Amino acid sequence: MDLLQQAAANRIQALVDEINRHRRAYYEGNTVLIADAEYDSLMHELELLEAQHPELISGDSPTQTVGGSANQAFAPVEHLDRMMSLDNVFSHEEMRAWLAKTSQGPFLCELKIDGLAINLRYENGSLVSAATRGDGVVGEDVTQNVLTIKSIPRKLEGAGHPPVVEIRGEIFFGVEDFAKLNEGLVAEGKAPFANPRNSASGSLRQKDAKVTASRPLRMLVHGIGAWPNPVAAGTPITTQSGMYALLAGWGLPTSERFAVVATADEVLAYIDNFEKNRHSLEHEIDGVVVKVDSLAEQAELGFTSRAPRWAIAYKYAPEQVNTKLVDIRIGIGRTGRATPYAVVEPVKVAGSVVEFATLHNQDVVKAKGVLIGDTIVLRKAGDVIPEILGPVIELRTGAERAFVMPSECPSCGAPLAPSSEGDVDLRCQNAKSCPAQLRERVAYLGSRGVLDIEALGYVAAVALTQPLAPQAAPLHSEADLFDLTLEDLLPIQAQVLDPDTGLPKLDANGEAKVVDFFRKKDGSPAEVALKLLRNLEDAKTKPLWRILVALSIRHVGPVAARSLAAHFGSLDRIFAASETELAEVDGVGAILAQSLREWITVDWHRDIVERWRSAGVQLETPGHNGPGSGAVEGGKFTGLSIVATGSLQQFTREEIEEAIISNGGKAVSSVSKKTTFVVAGANAGSKLAKAEELGIEVIDEEEFKRRLNS
């Protein structure tokens, strides 16, 4: 054996040992030590090496076996027909290559549920046993637990059932059911489950079936095992899709989301569609399974030692990975809220590198049970927000330490305390002078959903509020914003901060990055400086509700601000109203009304309003008829209450509400007898149903545009 072959042999043996260790942990101990993506990477490397060196393939290689041995806590059950695994592909190119070499089609595409494989054995239509996959030959007897799952029939519907048939499927938690389960565990003082698949596995492997019965497990079937070949038996079932129709007719839970397609382009379109919409599904998925639809062609293609040649799994980019929790730090938001966030060893998840993850508040840190130094399970919620699911307790070394919430603001040193009795969140009490709060408020008011000041992004907010010495910050509060001049902007140098953490970004030498943000190298004004001044001038005439949101009053978001602006018509009238008058406005309520009244009693808050007024900011809606009228004089929708619902194609929700309000109407959030008409887009739900029930007129976007322009 030469040196190259010896190196390959050593690596193959290391991979075999490592993968089998993880298999034993999962199948025997119900423990996941690494994320799916890492496991898939190890398997992929092993497959490539064995393809290059087939003489080194051993009998205990994971490429030659399925799953793991049965857990000794449950009686062993031998499957009548071996339960196979699936080979994986990870790109469009690999998928096209598999399709081209496998079949001319048609192909059946279905969702790859992230759950626990199960085998149900029916004899003459009655369920006699249920077993986990195990090593593919022998699984664990979980019959009593499976009998508690409502979606699995004890007796098949219809007639003419085979004497014996094995039904294969996946046990899982729905997304909402999983969230409710974890909420219940946290309320009982117990640690929540890290992810739905582990919780489904743990729930099904309970020695007490009553525990399984208390958890809302579900099942979807995706195939058959032992059964006289339906083609050879002369039955009319000749396709996988036809098989699903038959199983559904027997009362078995089948998915309605599969599709039979003819071409590779259609297969990839199905894959891409569900990757884009995976978070709108009722259960977790980690990819798509593609099968040759013809049962005769499946039989001709056959199997390898561990997987069918007629099926493949397309695995999506990992959304869930393992990494190290390096530290837990505190970020201060625009309302002073102190939010713990995790600093993690950089790891790629869902297509981007993650270094930080939110932890919301100290109670969430406690509920998740994480310690600084833990190996943690991390995912991107909605493909956007990094979220810690929980620790991998089995990998703790004893060097980990608990997080302690600080008592002082890390930005200004002021005390951290609840704003009111019973408030879970701690807040910095120095709202006026805390640099972090000012920075966040300025960045917020420049955002698209508030004043939409394009040149006032996060880095510009940093430059305006926290420049480097010797220059002073041109903004000491939001009051200064509309008084900015070019002379104020040009001298400013600032550190570039990370928008997730507020910490300085570092250059290659480990030094904080510093930029001349508002001027060019020759000293002339940069375009961002000129654009900022133009944007600020335009912002002075933004709709009243946007001005109200820009003040960062706690609890006052766009919905409430629109209602207040439509009802009162001016900022002065809003702040002159009593709590009772404010609370009576649709979408406001007592808590928000109290927050408004408290805000305007603060001296430096009133100074913001007066300085903005002096700078020419428009603090009222032109032509408004006064409190309670909700009308703009001469508006097309004067006196009308209008609801917009569903997915609109030509308007954003914000744009259509602005169109209603600026034309004298009231953009309301709920349908009632007072509603004049409803603008309904695609997938309109309960609001459309309510309108139809009450006999209220429903129009589409085109009709709304016609009325708007008429």
pLDDT score recorded for residue 474: 83
Q: What band does 59 get if pLDDT is binned at 50, 70 and 90?
A: low
Catalytic residue among 101, 112, 513, 521: 112
Any residues with CB less than 8 A from the CB of 47 and at least 6 apart, and which? Answer: 63
Residues 649-669: pLDDT tens digits? Answer: 788 777 787 788 778 787 787
Q: Where does residue 555 fall: left (phi above 0), alpha (psi -120 to 50 degrees), or beta otherwise?
A: left
User: Distance between CA atoms of 139 and 116, rounded to whole angstroms?
Assistant: 12
Compute the distance between CA of residue 218 and CA of residue 148 in angstroms, rounded to an integer.
10
pLDDT at position 383, please?
47
pLDDT band for 601, please (50, 70, 90 cuts): very high
Distance between start and end Cα atoms, the chain: 86
CB 80 within 8 A of CB 149: no
Q: Find the range with the poorest average confidence among 45-49, 86-90, 300-304.
A: 45-49
Average pLDDT over residues 94-112: 94
Q: How far apart are CA 222 and CA 244, in angstroms?
A: 8
Q: Pick the more confident residue, 300 or 381.
A: 300
- Centroid of chain to Cα 530: 38
- Distance CA(412)–CA(310), nearest Å, equals 63
The CATH T-level fold of domain 320-417 is OB fold (Dihydrolipoamide Acetyltransferase, E2P) (2.40.50)
Phi and psi of 153, rounded to 5°?
A: -75, 140
* Average pLDDT for 599-624: 94
Q: Does the domain spanning 3-56 belong to CATH 1.10.287.610?
A: yes
Q: What's the pLDDT score for residue 192?
A: 65
| Dist. CA 682–CA 668, nearest whole Å | 19
Residue 358 CA to residue 342 CA, distance in Å, equals: 6
Q: Is the pLDDT of residue 231 over 50?
A: no
C-alpha distances out from residue 490 to 231, 266, 278, 494, 512, Å:
80, 55, 47, 12, 21
Looking at 577-685, list the stretches that DSSP marks H as alpha helix, in order from N- to C-terminal side: 579-583, 589-600, 603-614, 653-662
User: Hey, what amino acid is at 471?
Assistant: Q
pLDDT at 208: 77
Backbone angles phi, psi at 487, to 5 degrees: -65, -30
E strands present in 100-256? 107-113, 116-123, 126-132, 138-140, 164-173, 217-224
CA 426 to chain centre: 25
CATH topology of domain 544-709: Rossmann fold (3.40.50)
The residues facing 311 across adjacent strands are: 291
At 376-403, the pLDDT tens digits run: 988 875 445 688 888 988 889 999 999 9
Cβ neighbours of 44 (radius 10 Å):
14
- Is the pLDDT confidence value at 233 over 60? no
Mean pLDDT in residue range 517-541: 92
Reported residue count of the chain is 710
Q: Which residues pair with 494 in a beta bridge?
A: 467, 515
Output the pLDDT for position 328.
94
Residue the block writes with tokens 């104020």: 488
pLDDT of residue 232 exceeding 60, the answer is no
Strands 311-315, 88-89: pairing kind:
parallel
120 has a pLDDT exceeding 80:
yes
Separation between Cα atoms, residue 287 and residue 112, nearest integer Å: 5
**Degrees, nearest 5: CA angle 484-480-547:** 100
How high is the pLDDT of residue 629? 53
pLDDT at position 109 is 96
Express each pLDDT in 156-173 by its tens digit. 998 878 889 999 999 998
Rounded distance between C-alpha atoms, residue 168 and residue 118, angstroms: 6
Q: Which residue has the higher pLDDT, 29 or 420?
A: 420
Q: Which CATH superfamily is domain 76-315 in?
A: DNA ligase/mRNA capping enzyme (3.30.470.30)
Active site residue 112: yes
Q: Which of 334, 380, 339 is nearest to 360 (CA)?
A: 339
In the predicted model, is pLDDT for residue 105 greater than 90? no
Flag whether pLDDT at 606 surpasses 90. Answer: yes
Q: How much of the chain, in percent, has pLDDT values that exceed 90?
A: 37
